[in-house]
Amino acid sequence: MGSDPQYAKYPLLPLAQHIFTLTNPSAPKAIQQTSLKSLQDAITEHKMAPLYRYLAHPVEGILNATGETSSKATPAPLGRKPSAAGMVASKHSIPKIDLPWDEALYEKLKKDNDEELEGFKKEEEEAAEKAGETEVQAARGKRAEFWARVGDKDRAIAAYEEVFEKTGVLGTKIDLVLAIIRMGLFYGDKLLVKKHVDRAKTLVESGGDWDRRNRLKAYQGLYLLMVRSYSLAAPLLLDSLSTFTSYELCTYSSLVVYSVLAGSVSLKRVDFKSKVVDAPEIKAILGDGEDKLLALSGALSAGPGADEEMKDVSSATPSTTKTAVNLTNLGSDQPEAEAAVNFSPLAQLVGSLYTGSYRSFFGALAAVEVNFLTQDRYLYEHRGWFVREMRLRAYQQLLQSYRVVGLESMANDFGVSVDFLDRDLAKFIAAERIPCTIDRVTGKGIIETNRPDDKNKQYNDVVRQGDQLITKLQKYGQAVRLRGSERA
């Protein structure tokens, strides 16, 4: 039997996005001011003394290049500590807006933390004397959540591990490992996240319940997105759409964005149509008119399970502003309302890529880069790669339909100059990503595709595999002869 998730409230991952926004040169000033206020309010409300010191201390803080204490304070060096690389837009980015350091505030927060810790210590001691192991474990769990709440990564992980070692309930063990993964995500520690994602997979495979299996899919998908394994992330994220409950990880709006982007850049055209263009959960967000109404009413559904095959429905037509709603969980316990998100660029990107409207595709790709790739802490690092791969996908899709294409004609289709297209295609041709040649010597400006001959390819494969088989047989024959001589 499953049980409700535990240790799922902390750390507060939205704060990590606010920290990223403060150092993001692409973030609007108004958004940075909002993030600064949200961060300051959270530090005060949750008494986050360790995180406040880690971020704002005039000497050790990662966000302040200049302090606001006494003139004797040593200015922090430019650049970032290695441990901060995952929290900020880049290792050398300096925030436009400082998080001011207030020594009195820090001392007050630290005093409150010490008093709270003392209370946990007394509670654990009383539980050990008067109650049983269950109550002792509950007290240890509170202390672990306390460290996660105030943003002390090392102590939180150590406390979670202590609780993990003392518990025998598989569901609780999985929840503890997921909490450690979120600490790694908060601080951008990819190695820590990878280690504990693998650990969680082992635990889930040993008998985890259905809910935790599906929650882990979202965790895995987000990790794979962080390390640019979009082809592996796409099926996990898309499967998570119909059963998403991991609100401690990200909002449903964010999951839709991650799923659509990962699917757009990595899925084959047939899968792209069934799992992105025609997926009911995505149509409900990006769709329009009758399609969206059918999805909202439940007439179209991907089914109750995340592992069921998505069925084809009529295609979506992107258009106006859409906001995110978790349609599959209406009526269940929901977190506070999500902020409205303009999905129009994303909808236009999906629709134009599938229908071959390349001029609008390039415009949508630019809008997606500005509105999503440069603003999200998980997507920012790979924004250049994503845009380049999407351009390649569009080029490949157009060229595979023609034997010969005029360079000027193709440039007009994409709404770019001939010189830009020539330079862009040349990079992909040189890297053997597009099998074609460009003839500009004669002045014709012709792109000629070089489709591989299937028969020749099959023949070469047979020859290569045959050579490998003969080599293995020769080695096997030598081993048999040796054994025969040994018997003689």
> Helix, strand, or coil here: 169?
coil
Is residue 148 a contact partner of residue 10, using CB atoms and an 8 Å limit? Answer: yes
For residue range 236-265, what is the model confidence (pLDDT) as tens digits?
A: 999 999 889 899 999 999 999 999 999 999
Compute the average pLDDT of residues 26-49: 93
Band the pLDDT of 476: cuts 50, 70, 90.
confident
Task: Return the amino acid letter for 221.
Answer: G
In CATH terms, 343-449 corresponds, of 2.40.37.20, 3.40.50.1460, 1.10.10.10, 3.40.50.300, to 1.10.10.10
Separation between Cα atoms, residue 292 and residue 322, nearest integer Å: 10
> Helix, strand, or coil here: 405?
strand
Separation between Cα atoms, residue 273 and residue 263, nearest integer Å: 10
13-65+90-208 CATH fold: 1.25.40
What pTM did the predictor assign?
A: 0.81
User: Which token pair is 422?
Assistant: 């020539």
Is residue 207 a contact partner of residue 170, using CB atoms and an 8 Å limit? Answer: yes
Q: What pLDDT does residue 472 have?
A: 84
Q: What pLDDT does residue 400 have?
A: 86
Band the pLDDT of 208: cuts 50, 70, 90.
confident
CB count in 10 Å sphere of residue 333: 7
CB count in 10 Å sphere of residue 430: 9
CB count in 10 Å sphere of residue 142: 16
Whole-number Cα distances in Å, 3 to 63, 210, 245: 40, 10, 14
Is residue 89 a contact partner of residue 104, using CB atoms and an 8 Å limit? Answer: no
Q: What pLDDT does residue 127 have?
A: 86
Compute the average pLDDT of residues 156-169: 92
SS (H, E, C) 296-322: HHCCCCCCCCCCCCCCCCCCCCCCCCC
- Is 85 or 431 the better-scoring residue by pLDDT? 431
For residue range 331-370, what is the model confidence (pLDDT) as tens digits?
A: 334 445 566 788 999 999 999 999 999 999 999 999 999 9
| Residue 348, phi-psi category: left (phi > 0), alpha (psi -120 to 50), beta (remainder) | alpha
Every domain of the chain and the residues it spans = 13-65+90-208, 343-449, 462-487
Q: What are phi and psi of 446, to 5 degrees?
A: -105, 135
**Predicted confidence (pLDDT) at residue 47 exceeds the cutoff of 90:** yes
Separation between Cα atoms, residue 305 and residue 239, nearest integer Å: 8
Whole-number Cα distances in Å, 387 to 233, 268, 370, 383: 17, 17, 11, 6
- Is 145 or 59 the better-scoring residue by pLDDT? 145
DSSP state of 5: -
Q: What pLDDT does residue 443 have?
A: 58
Band the pLDDT of 466: cuts 50, 70, 90.
confident
Band the pLDDT of 189: cuts 50, 70, 90.
very high
**Predicted confidence (pLDDT) at residue 82 exceeds the cutoff of 50:** no
Q: What pLDDT does residue 349 have?
A: 95
